[in-house]
Amino acid sequence: MEQSESTGPGLERFRSYLHLLARTQLDGRLRGKVDASDVVQLTLLKAHASLDQFHGHAPAELAGWLRQILVRTLADLVRDFNRARRDVALERSLEAAVEQSSARLEAWLTADQPSPSEQAMHNEQLVRLADALAALPELQRQALVLKHCEGWSLNDIGEHMGRSPAAVASLLRRGLKQLRGQLHEPG
């Protein structure tokens, strides 16, 4: 897999995963001012700059460390745009929300996987899922993220997207079909 010079070894493979989490957690007031891609780039640059502080070895540890940096980056952006002092409650709230989205995404993939080799495979699947989601058409990706990562109902998604629940269900079916096809291809 190609590596970006600016993000260092092993970090680039988490770009789609971080993008998915950033999209689900980016404060609505900031969406017009900051793009999730910018948040991910900042996160990866911060991670690269502090790579010497990462002491883990497993991909799951790296993913967790990157999620923490993402949370701090999101909190910094909210604070900068609100010109407020550090809000520890905001950071904890963002951290809980990012962890919840990550947990939903992981639960969507599979249940318990106790052995280290199964956990490594699970982490690789999680990254592949994020990459596959990123490759979907925008409307399908948005419907799938709202349903499976944020837990929204068909009616809520339809209202948000300006579509009927039946149209949302169709987007979800087509998106899931494409995801299955992509995830079953050798990667």
Residue 53, C-beta contacts closer than 8 angstroms, at least 6 positions apart: none
For the chain, domains (ranges, CATH) are: 1-135 (no CATH), 138-187 (1.10.10.10)
From the list 88, 39, 35, the residue with the least C-alpha distance to 66 is: 39
pLDDT of residue 143: 92
CA distances from 3 to 7, 20, 24, 70 (A): 7, 19, 25, 19
For 30-59, what is the mean pLDDT? 86
For 167-183, what is the mean pLDDT? 91
Higher pLDDT, 115 or 48: 48
CA distances from 156 to 125, 150, 160 (A): 28, 11, 6
Checking if the pLDDT of 132 tops 50, the result is yes
pLDDT of residue 46: 93
pLDDT of residue 89: 55
Could you give the CA distance from residue 74 to residue 34 in angstroms, rounded to a whole number? Answer: 10
pLDDT of residue 4: 41
Higher pLDDT, 6 or 97: 97
For 22-28, what is the mean pLDDT? 76
pLDDT of residue 171: 94
Query: What string of DSSP letters covers 135-166?
Result: HS-HHHHHHHIIIIIS---HHHHHHHHT--HH
**Tens of pLDDT along 156-166?**
999 999 999 99
pLDDT of residue 62: 87
pLDDT of residue 5: 41
pTM above 0.95, yes or no: no
pLDDT of residue 2: 39
Checking if the pLDDT of 23 tops 70, the result is yes
pLDDT of residue 173: 94
